[in-house]
Structure 1
Amino acid sequence: MTSRIRWAVAALAVVAGLGAARVEAQPAAVSGGGWEVSIAPLYLWASELDGAMTVGPRNVPIFMDFGTAVKNLSATFTFDAEVRKGRWGAFADLGFVRLGTDTEYDVIRPGRLTAKGRVELDNLIFETGGAAWLTRDFAVIGGVRTYTFSPNVTLGVADIDLREVEISKTNVDAIAGVTWRPKLSPRLTLLTRADMGAGQSDFTWSGLVAVEYHVKPAFGLLVGYKGLGIDTGDPRGLAAAGGLSVPTTYDVTHYGPVFAGTFHWGR
């Protein structure tokens, strides 16, 4: 079991234990009967990327700190939404990041040449599911997470035909976990969540610890720390340029601070 997996399991156990204690202490503390809606449009996840990717016979270490990612950022979009009525709720989260950079490669065809190229890396993470609130601030959650990893490499050398290399794969995984959101004061709420799952991936997990400051009843500011990992396990053939099937795996972790403005209705 890797250190990242141990961290995920430990986080899930801590949140579940704290939440279970809360459930036992407040068995009747549930939401009212009206609708509650919360959204966080265009939140910032200052995420670093760490792990490894294999393409065919090659293993490629992956590491990108947030400063490097910002320099190479081509496009980004994020959105988080939750609804709740009584004991039941639903959630959805979408995060898209495109990183692009110009670089140079050594190309052997027929001799060693330098090729100027463009690399674009798309990451699309989407999750949706439901929640069963056992108390006002503790729930068990379940749903689906999809993770799309799409590197695109374009090379160009005079008098040599080099095709664009594009590999894309979307993994769909079932997830289950818990969330605990106790109020620390009239204006402060602690937000915690931990989940894990599997499916087309061997293992996936995520964890969040954050604090939200309620500036107004309908508006808040959130700051916290989030991690998400995915391990695809055994190599799977992905379609590359020219219809080739390339055995590819990835085992990566996204981690870093989260900042958001939050909007609430029905509280």
Structure 2
Amino acid sequence: MTLSHAKACGFTLSIILGLGSAAAQAADLPPPAAPVAPVMTSAWTYRFTPYGWLISLNGNQTVKGRTARVDASFIDILDASLGDGGTLFALMADIEARNGRFSLLGNFAGLKVSVDRGGVRTRSATPDIAGAIGASGDAKTSMAILEAGATYEVARFGSVAFDILAGARYWNQRAELSFDAGATVDIGDLSFRRNVAIARSGSVDWIDGFAGARVRIGLAPGQEFVVRGDVGGGGSNFSWQGIAAYSFDFAEKNGITYSGVIGYRALYADYAQGEGRRRYAFDMLMHGPVVGLSLRF
């Protein structure tokens, strides 16, 4: 074998050995990592707030053409409700689902309100009902108020946000007025219990549309002050609502932030239907402090 042939064979052997070594090293390398799927997160956040409304009433309630003027504080209503074996409220809750500037609102209030003769100031009847109305008597109203709507943030300046809002409010009521039967002349269309004549309305319901605005103010981390107002009508002649509330975070667990809520709510409706003995009317301002617990997630 010539010298040139030997060099060529050595060069070839070196290439083979090098390729084998590279292949062995490649075999020892870990396999390439599998592509990681992107984590999908929802842009929606939710807030659920059960609350109590310490309600007072000021206005007129008309059932079967008989009208009672009601001026009762929360203490008056509480005494009358508990004394009658009833409850002041059954269930109240507020919910909001937010995605960026847009949010959906929902609110439910179920109330059973009793006002005794101390909170019923005057009583009267429509002109076509003869006779006088007895001086004594109570007023009772059971109602459910269901609200649904949406808001949109139109402006923000630092920690202050301005929203516009619109929606609808559904009302369902059953009312009862009682009078001293001995002093009531025309009571042929009423029910009786002992010496008391009772006017019962049956179920009455209506829907109001509403529109308004809301201001949200971040006072400090975990603290917010909210003021809301709206006006409406449709089923009723006119309605309005005003709410002011302060919330403060106090705990966080398992992705849920817990906040206390204190504030004040006022809701007014002027609704009427029918004439004479068939007339039903609810011209009432309901207002009082609000206390609740908010869960945000």
Aligned to 1:174: 209
Amino acid at match of 2:269: I
Comparing 59-68 with 252-261, which one deviates more in the overlay?
Answer: 59-68
Of the candidates 252, 266, 273, which is equivalent to residue 227 of structure 1? 266
Task: Find out whether 1:97 has 2:97 as its counterpart.
Answer: no
**Deviations 1:87-142, CA, capped at 9 Å, x for gaps:** 22111100011134788xxxxxxxxxx9x998642022111011112246321111
TM-score by length of 1: 0.71
Q: Which runs of 5+ in 2 are unaligned?
A: 1-40, 118-133, 178-190
CA contact (8 A) 2:65 2:277 kept: no
- Secondary structure of the 1:44 match is strand
TM-score by length of 2: 0.64
CA distance in 2, matches of 1:194, 1:250: 21
Task: Find out whether 1:61 has 2:69 as its counterpart.
Answer: yes
Q: 1:111-260 residue pairs with structure 2 within 5 A?
A: 120-135=140-155, 137-152=161-176, 155-157=192-194, 165-217=200-252, 218-232=257-271, 235-237=272-274, 246-260=278-292
Alignment RMSD: 3.0
Comparing 223-232 with 133-142, which one deviates more in the overlay?
Answer: 133-142
Cα–Cα, structure 1 residues 61 and 100, in superposed 2: closer, same or farther, change >3 Å?
Answer: closer
CA contact (8 A) 1:117 1:156 kept: no
Cα–Cα, structure 1 residues 193 and 33, in superposed 2: closer, same or farther, change >3 Å?
Answer: farther
Aligned to 2:101: 87
Decide which structure has the larger Cα Rg and report it: 2
**Deviations 1:159-212, CA, capped at 9 Å, x for gaps:** x9x787333321210000111111011132111110001101111100111111
What's the offset of the Cα at 1:59? Answer: 3.1
- Secondary structure of the 2:265 match is strand
What's the offset of the Cα at 1:57? Answer: 4.5
CA contact (8 A) 2:65 2:278 kept: no
Q: Which has the higher strand share?
A: 1
CA contact (8 A) 1:36 1:84 kept: yes
CA distance in 1, matches of 2:76, 2:60: 17
CA contact (8 A) 1:208 1:227 kept: yes
CA contact (8 A) 1:48 1:65 kept: yes
What's the offset of the Cα at 1:53? Answer: 2.3
Identity of aligned pairs, percent?
A: 23
- Secondary structure of the 1:191 match is strand
- Secondary structure of the 1:134 match is strand
CA distance in 2, matches of 1:146, 1:35: 26
